């Protein structure tokens, strides 16, 4: 199923299928948010935002919902 | 003969790069700034085998060679400029064994620059716990480098690293992958146009967003420039290409047996980012920080205070009387004392911040607070500057640099000076002691303590409130984005924390210290000199007057009368009298006016200035004497000068006014314009004037 990262519940594992290059900064790509890489939702902050991810098996990041919305994934 | 070589340490944040630096150089390092910008430049020195000596440059942490901040820009500027006198003979890329995949991205970029490169894999003491094993010969072959396994925690691998550095001439300078295949035709053409230039270097010059090597970019003909989205598409392709290479290499060269892995991260995250415990722990830590700043620091501060008072006294009594002795005992020594007294608070604060950052906890706080802070136009990352602001706004404003979103960063820098910094403390302390009775509420809370607390909350509240206003009315188009790395939890290394605390404290003392010292000397001069009329013959005038009062026997009274007469006729007295009309509505007389004006260089000068003005000698227990003097001051009509209304008015003025030249200077540097420091100065001081006016008029 194709969806975006901002709607995934904690514990979901998925593969990135597409990243909106206009809205996602290069730095995020370099930290591993690239099509083809795996990601896992580890935590969501108490107020629902930001989202804490494990990207590409070992790159641990937190991003805001609005960025997460620009990352399309396929749930595994 | 010894040979000098340049070594650059490069790496992602949180890889222990600075630990490697500290291990190599020990305390043999100097911290300065890159010219014109406030990025910290850490240079260290190290003796190597075979009579080699190395200048070791610890470059700011960066995730890649595509700069998105001035800190990162420093790295590229150095690596592309062969003429720089610190241009590395050898680059040492430091990586974390648990995060090799991402750390190697930067490594492959450095390799493309064809600089001899060593790969340090750090934190190897954790390999066993994480079930990681590495095939070093295979990795060395694929990555075309020498690999050194290091554990800075256990002190392993440093000697081997030194030997490898000495052997730098045998390192390969060949790139480990061919990134130009992402757009063959384009890169071939580019290379043909610049046959003598490194292809990757050209590509970097074309793609950088940040203030960058203007001269080189101009040389690149327009046929090679691409649209922003086209560039970005290529950069994505390049990044994917690099990751593919890294993933393929690690698939064979690295084995991770997750069965052996124990996961501290998951367990701690569960508690530390919990919706109740997470916040409770954070506020507990905040309380601990404040406790250390106010309570634990007071012992060494009192000691410093009395030591300097005694020293000034000793100097005055034991050196031959004269201008120089006066300058020393009334200007320079109290001036230095006024700086040194802040060391305990600043050191405690940096100690906490450095432990919180080293342990990985700070990122969790950022994660927890982001949504809340965003409501006020701030970022989760604003938490660090706002906490640091309780010690000093200068390092606090510099720490706002890692906020990606310009608007959030700007608002953070603009509101940070509202936070009650340690320079306001002595002012608050003496004013509160003067106007608030030593009573207890409900038998427990000291009324004076509660007042101090209210002032802190007031500062914090104003910061949040003005952030809210700025967010609403500041029209800035910025790309909103936020990313924070959540590093592995680590026990902070004592050596790193200690060096960090010493360096940060040192740079505060010397940075802010220069201004405070210069100012106290100027103040001393203005206060002890005056235009000839009325100043030079002060003594005979006063003696005449005191004779008339029949009190010539009272020597102390006579001396006090002489010095206060001198002061009134000194340059500073004249300045004070001329501004009196402006400050009278706030309830201040000309003496307070001088203290307020001199505070515009640095707030803490207030108490010292009043001490000078009331010609209180240093009698050891200095504060009490100043306080008693202040309490005894009366207006011509017999009303107390420091009455409740004036006191509250002064407290509010100091809580809100922008009275720190160093802060203005740092905001100018960080925002690259005079506009924002001026906005701060006018808005904060205007607001302070109005509230102080209102308070005095209502209370008097």
Distance from CA of B200 to the nearest CA of A (A): 17
Higher-pLDDT residue of B414, B191 = B414
pLDDT exceeds 80 at position B2: no
A36, A46, A50 ranked by CB distance to B482: nearest: A50
pLDDT exceeds 70 at position B36: no
Sort out which chain A residues have CB atoms less than 8 A from B240's CB and list them. Answer: 34-36
In terms of Cα–Cα distance, which of B125, B87, B116, B92 is closest to B106? Answer: B92
Q: What is the pLDDT of residue B619?
A: 42
Question: To 10 degrees, what angle do helices B494-528 and B343-359 make?
Answer: 150
Q: What is the pLDDT of residue B512?
A: 67
Q: Do B236 and A62 touch (CB under 8 A)?
A: no
B100, B240, B487 ranked by CB distance to A34: nearest: B240
Instruction: Determine the residue among A21, A51, A62, A70 to mutate to test chain B binding: the one whose Cβ has the most chain B Cβ atoms within 10 Å.
Output: A62
Stretch B591-601: mean pLDDT: 83
Strand blocks (E) in B499-591: none
CA distance B42 to B31: 5
pLDDT exceeds 50 at position B620: no
Q: What percent of chain A has pLDDT over 90?
A: 66
pLDDT exceeds 60 at position B210: no
Stretch B294-305: mean pLDDT: 82
Q: What is the DSSP letter of A14?
A: E
Nearest chain A residue to B237, by CA: A34
B135-193 pLDDT, tens digit per residue, is 999 999 999 999 999 999 898 999 999 999 999 999 988 888 887 888 888 888 888 88
Q: What is the pLDDT of residue B217?
A: 59
DSSP-assigned beta bridge partners for residue A41: A53
Q: Do B481 and A22 touch (CB under 8 A)?
A: no
Tell me whether B478 touches chain A (CB under 8 Å).
no
Stretch B563-589: mean pLDDT: 86
Tell me whether A7 touches chain B (CB under 8 Å).
no
Higher-pLDDT residue of B213, B433 = B433
Q: What is the pLDDT of residue B6?
A: 94
pLDDT exceeds 70 at position B577: yes
pLDDT exceeds 70 at position B215: no
A21, A32, A52 ranked by CB distance to B486: nearest: A52
Question: To 10 degrees, what angle do helices B661-671 and B494-528 make?
Answer: 120
Sort out which chain B residues have CB atoms less than 8 A from A52's CB and list them. Answer: 269, 273, 367, 486
Distance from CA of B286 to the nearest CA of A (A): 19
Q: What percent of chain B has pLDDT over 90?
A: 35
Question: pLDDT band at B614, cuts 50/70/90?
Answer: low
3-state secondary structure of B159: helix
pLDDT exceeds 90 at position A41: yes
In contact, B590 and B580? CB cutoff 8 Å:
yes
Q: Of the segments B309-323, B519-533, B665-679, which one has the largest average pLDDT value?
A: B665-679
Q: What is the pLDDT of residue B621?
A: 46
pLDDT exceeds 50 at position B617: no
Q: If contacts are CB pairs under 8 Å, which of residues 292-311 in chain B contact chain A?
A: none
pLDDT exceeds 70 at position B214: no
Q: Do A30 and B483 touch (CB under 8 A)?
A: no
Stretch A54-64: mean pLDDT: 91
Q: Of the segments B29-33, B45-49, B175-179, B538-542, which one has the largest average pLDDT value?
A: B45-49
Cβ-proximal residues to B19 (8 Å cutoff; 6+ apart), any chain: B122, B152, B153, B493, B495, B496
In contact, B43 and B32? CB cutoff 8 Å:
yes
Stretch B350-365: mean pLDDT: 91
CA distance B182 to B359: 40
Q: Do A21 and B105 touch (CB under 8 A)?
A: no
Stretch A11-26: mean pLDDT: 90
Question: So what CATH class is B1-262?
Answer: alpha beta
Q: Do A21 and B266 touch (CB under 8 A)?
A: no
Burial B346-374 (b: 16+ CB within 10 A, else e): bbbbbbbbbbbbbbbbbbbbbbbbbbebb
In terms of Cα–Cα distance, which of B20, B43, B15, B19 is closest to B30? Answer: B43
Q: What percent of chain B has pLDDT over 70?
A: 93
CB pairs under 8 A between A and B: 123
Stretch B268-279: mean pLDDT: 92
Q: If contacts are CB pairs under 8 Å, which of residues 535-554 in chain B contact chain A?
A: none
Tell me whether B126 touches chain A (CB under 8 Å).
no
Within 13 A of B33's CA, how many CA atoms are on the CB side? Answer: 12
CA distance A37 to B93: 24
Distance from CA of B373 to the nearest CA of A (A): 11
pTM tops 0.80, yes or no: yes
Q: Do B229 and A49 touch (CB under 8 A)?
A: no
Q: Do B66 and A30 touch (CB under 8 A)?
A: yes
Sort out which chain B residues have CB atoms less than 8 A from A59's CB and list them. Answer: 99, 101-102, 485
Q: Is the dihedral of CA B104, B107, B112, B118 positive or negative?
A: negative
Q: What is the pLDDT of residue B212?
A: 47
Q: Where are the alpha helices (DSSP H) in B600-643?
A: 605-613, 622-632
Burial A44-65 (b: 16+ CB within 10 A, else e): bbbeebbbbbbbbbbbbbbbbb
Q: Do B370 and A49 touch (CB under 8 A)?
A: yes
Domains along the sequence of chain A with CATH:
2-75 (2.30.30.90)
Tell me whether B363 touches chain A (CB under 8 Å).
yes
A23-32 pLDDT, tens digit per residue, is 888 889 999 9
Q: If contacts are CB pairs under 8 Å, which of residues 37-76 in chain A contact chain B?
A: 37, 42-43, 45-50, 52, 56-64, 66-67
Nearest chain B residue to A20, by CA: B233
Q: Do B366 and A47 touch (CB under 8 A)?
A: no
Name the pairing type of β-strands A51-55 and A59-63: antiparallel
| Nearest 10 degrees: Cα torsion B430, B431, B434, B440 | -90
Sort out which chain A residues have CB atoms less than 8 A from B233's CB and list them. Answer: 21
Stretch B584-609: mean pLDDT: 83
Higher-pLDDT residue of B627, B122 = B122
Instruction: Determine the residue among B71, B236, B488 to mutate to test chain A binding: the one whose Cβ has the most chain A Cβ atoms within 10 Å.
Output: B236
Question: pLDDT band at B666, cuts 50/70/90?
Answer: confident
> Which secondary-structure segment (H or E) carries B410?
helix B406-415
Q: What is the pLDDT of residue A11?
A: 92
Q: What is the pLDDT of residue B554?
A: 74
Q: Of the segments B200-209, B219-228, B471-480, B493-502, which one has the largest average pLDDT value?
A: B493-502
- Across chain B, mean pLDDT equals 85
Higher-pLDDT residue of B340, B223 = B340
Q: Do B243 and A26 touch (CB under 8 A)?
A: no
DSSP-assigned beta bridge partners for residue A63: A51, B483
Measured from the Cβ of residue B686, the count of other Cβ atoms closer than 10 Å reads 13
Q: Do A21 and B275 touch (CB under 8 A)?
A: no
Q: Do B404 and A25 touch (CB under 8 A)?
A: yes
């Amino acid at each position: 199923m194709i969806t975006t990262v901002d709607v995934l519940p904690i514990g979901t594992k998925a593969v990135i299928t597409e990243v909106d290059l206009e809205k996602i900064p290069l730095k995020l790509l370099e930290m591993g948010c690239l099509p083809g890489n795996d990601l896992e939702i580890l935590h969501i902050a108490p107020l629902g935002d930001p989202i804490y991810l494990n990207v590409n098996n070992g790159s641990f990041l937190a991003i805001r919902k609005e960025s997460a919305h620009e990352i399309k994934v396929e749930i595994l | 003969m010894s040979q000098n070589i340049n070594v650059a340490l490069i790496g992602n944040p949180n890889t222990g790069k600075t630990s490697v630096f500290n291990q190599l150089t020990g305390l043999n390092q100097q911290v300065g700034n890159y010219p014109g910008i406030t990025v910290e430049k850490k240079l260290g020195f190290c003796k190597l085998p075979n009579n080699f000596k190395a200048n070791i440059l610890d470059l700011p942490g960066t995730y890649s060679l595509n700069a998105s901040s001035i800190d990162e820009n420093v790295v590229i500027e150095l690596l592309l400029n062969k003429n720089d006198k610190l241009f590395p003979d050898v680059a040492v890329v430091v990586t974390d064994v648990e995060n090799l995949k991402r750390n190697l991205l930067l490594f492959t970029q450095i390799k493309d620059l064809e600089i001899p490169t060593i790969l340090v894999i750090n934190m190897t003491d954790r390999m066993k716990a994480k079930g990681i094993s590495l095939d070093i010969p295979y990795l060395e072959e694929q990555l075309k480098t020498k690999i050194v396994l290091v554990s800075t925690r256990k002190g392993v691998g440093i000697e081997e690293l030194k030997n490898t550095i000495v052997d730098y001439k045998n390192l390969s300078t060949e790139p480990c992958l061919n990134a130009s295949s992402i757009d063959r035709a384009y890169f071939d053409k580019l290379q043909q146009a610049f046959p003598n230039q490194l292809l990757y270097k050209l590509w970097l010059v074309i793609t950088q967003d940040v203030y960058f090597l203007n001269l080189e970019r101009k040389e690149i003909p327009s046929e090679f420039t691409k649209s922003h989205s086209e560039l970005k598409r290529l950069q994505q392709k390049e990044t994917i290409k690099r990751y593919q290479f890294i993933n393929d290499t690690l698939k064979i060269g690295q084995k991770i047996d997750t069965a052996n892995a124990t996961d501290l991260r998951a367990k701690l995250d569960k508690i530390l980012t919990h919706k109740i415990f997470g916040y409770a722990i954070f506020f507990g830590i905040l309380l601990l920080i404040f406790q250390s700043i106010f309570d634990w620091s007071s012992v060494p501060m009192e000691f410093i205070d009395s030591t300097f008072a005694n020293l000034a006294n000793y100097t005055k009594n034991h050196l031959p009387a004269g201008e120089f002795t006066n300058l020393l005992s009334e200007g320079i020594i109290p001036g230095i004392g006024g700086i040194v007294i802040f060391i305990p608070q600043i050191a405690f604060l940096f100690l906490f911040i450095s432990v919180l950052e080293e342990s990985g906890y700070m990122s969790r706080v950022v994660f927890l607070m982001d949504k809340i802070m965003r409501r006020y136009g701030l970022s989760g990352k604003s938490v660090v500057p706002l906490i640091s602001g309780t010690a000093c706004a200068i390092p606090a404003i510099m720490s706002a640099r890692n906020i990606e979103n310009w608007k959030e960063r700007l608002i953070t820098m603009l509101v940070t000076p509202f936070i009650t910094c340690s320079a306001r403390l002595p002012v608050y302390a003496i004013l509160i002691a003067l106007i608030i009775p030593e009573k207890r509420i409900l038998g427990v809370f000291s009324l004076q303590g509660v007042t101090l607390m209210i002032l802190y909350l007031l500062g914090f509240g104003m910061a949040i409130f003005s952030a809210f206003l700025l967010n609403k009315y500041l029209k800035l188009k910025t790309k909103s984005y936020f990313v924070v790395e959540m590093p592995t939890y680590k026990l902070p290394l004592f050596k790193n924390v200690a060096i960090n605390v010493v360096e940060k404290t040192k740079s505060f003392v010397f940075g802010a210290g220069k201004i405070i010292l210069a100012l106290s000397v100027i103040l001393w001069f203005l206060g002890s000199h005056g235009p000839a009329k009325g100043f030079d013959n002060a003594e005979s005038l006063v003696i005449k007057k005191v004779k008339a009062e029949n009190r010539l026997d009272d020597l102390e009274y006579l001396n006090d009368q002489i010095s206060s007469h001198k002061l009134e006729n000194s340059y500073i007295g004249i300045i004070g009298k001329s501004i009196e009309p402006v400050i009278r509505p706030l309830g201040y007389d000309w003496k307070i006016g001088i203290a307020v004006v001199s505070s515009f260089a640095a707030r803490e000068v207030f108490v010292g200035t009043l001490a000078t003005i009331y010609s209180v000698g240093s009698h050891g227990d200095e504060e009490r004497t100043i306080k008693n003097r202040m309490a005894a001051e009366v207006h011509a009509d017999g009303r107390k000068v420091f009455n409740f209304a004036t006191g509250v008015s002064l407290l509010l003025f100091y809580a809100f006014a922008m009275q720190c030249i160093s802060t203005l200077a740092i905001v100018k540097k960080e925002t690259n314009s005079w506009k924002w420091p001026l906005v701060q100065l006018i808005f904060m001081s205007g607001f302070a004037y109005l509230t102080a006016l209102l308070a005095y008029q209502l209370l008097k």
